[in-house]
A = this chain, B = another copy of it.
Amino acid sequence: MVELKIASDLVSAQNDKNAAWLKSDYEALGEKFGRRGTDIESITAQVSEFFVAVPSWGVGTGGTRFARFPGQGEPRSIFDKLDDCAVIHQLTQATPTVSLHVPWDKADLTELKAKGDALGLGFDAMNSNTFSDAVGQAHSYKYGSLSHTDASTRAQAIEHNLECIEIGKAIGSKALTVWIGDGSNFPGQSHFTRSFERYLASMAEIYEALPDDWRLFSEHKMYEPAFYSTVVQDWGTNYLIANTLGPKAMCLVDLGHHAPNTNIEMIVARLIQFGKLGGFHFNDSKYGDDDLDAGAIDPYRLFLVFNELVDAEHRGVGGFHPAHMIDQSHNVTDPIESLISSANEIRRAYAQALLVDREALDGYQADNDALMASETLKQAYRTDVEPILAEARRRAGGAIDPISAYRASGYRKKVALERPASFSGGGGIV
């Protein structure tokens, strides 16, 4: 019996209010699909089977280097975080797993596993942290971690990653995500080649320790926290890493980690083609690694990424099973609401991508009919698939309108009573 954080009666009552319009809209949409020869049930079924992992660190309020403005009832520990994640999954039925960050989420492993089981949550990729110093750590990561010039510091960072694997093994994870902040702030500070050689050697040791059924995800990022150069700065370097390490090593794509104007969907296609797309950190951005809610800024871009994923599925690309994870920072919203909304947006993009008439598209591409090819994508994208998303949630026991249901539940208010606000204003960092 899964422990529910929100009373199922409340969800049912909320759903009852929305049942009529959903039925009507779902039927109208089904009819419309019918005219084009598409079976809405098949789309709904596929959407129902599409899941995305929630980041444990995403249920706390984020911040910038200028300030962090805490929210009410912020989680105090990984156990509180898992409660919040359970709310998201209960209402969306789209997020059955949680991705942990170590050492932030360190806890007794038996308790951790038991808590996940009780809430019906599994554990997705483990995330190591060598971009900040933990209390009592022997060597600082101020000047790097896996690529540090000092062998002891590298050894410590490797050791930390091995510990993450051990934790993951205990709780059922099957992947390790490595994102580091290593880089430099000044021309000359680092030797590009030597740094990367040290990074590769460190990663080889981690790879060595990886169980056979695990995958190792390396994540590239153009800049921040390093402001002149970053060791794993783009997908080209990321590919070289995965290719050097071996078949279990794959590339992770965070949508916000690229240079301005970059065609991200094309990078996705290249990594698929060369067998190295490990998965995603979904979010949206306008300027840099803004970590905004998925689909909030450029929803068509999110669709185009999913268009590549569905195309690869459609072509039956071998060994293709990318990990779907959210990585966002929620500075001005209730993090639970942002994650509910983001999970929906990600499913929306997937549903729209499923609607692309791929046979017609193939024909237009073969004929260089650019206008109709574009129109074929736009037609799928323009479809308002909300009835499908809502129906998928409803059938699985979630909420037709999850934000409203969440607000009606009073969950935030309730936990705010139990979890005192932790003040954390301006850090004096400008």
Contacts and interface: CB of A to CB of B under 8 A. Distances in A.
A240 B236 CA distance: 9
Contact of A196 (B273, B364, B377): B273
A28 interface: yes
A236 B188 contact: no
A415 to B, nearest CB: 18
Contacts of A132: 66-67, 425-427
A138 interface: no
Interface in A279-320: 285-288, 290-293, 295-301, 304, 307-308, 311
A255 interface: no
Nearest to A327: B430
A240 B295 CA distance: 31
Interface in A409-430: 423-430
A286 B141 contact: no
Interface string A382-407: 11101000000000000000010000
B365 A233 contact: no
| Stoichiometry, copies per complex | 4
Nearest to A331: B185
A80 interface: no
Nearest to A227: B290
Nearest to A64: B225
Interface residues of A, number: 132
B62 A361 contact: no
A1 interface: no
B236 A236 contact: yes
Interface string A215-232: 000000011110111000
A234 interface: yes
Given A261-B222, A287-B261, A332 B66 contact: no
Interface of A: 21, 24-25, 28, 31-32, 35, 57, 60, 62-69, 101, 104, 129, 131-135, 137, 140-144, 149, 181, 184-194, 196-197, 222-225, 227-229, 233-237, 239-240, 258-263, 265-267, 269-270, 272-274, 285-288, 290-293, 295-301, 304, 307-308, 311, 327, 329, 331-334, 337-338, 341, 361-362, 364-368, 370-378, 381-384, 386, 403, 423-430
18 contacts: A62-B65, A64-B225, A66-B224, A104-B428, A185-B296, A186-B292, A186-B333, A186-B373, A187-B300, A189-B370, A192-B308, A227-B291, A227-B292, A228-B297, A258-B259, A293-B371, A299-B378, A334-B371
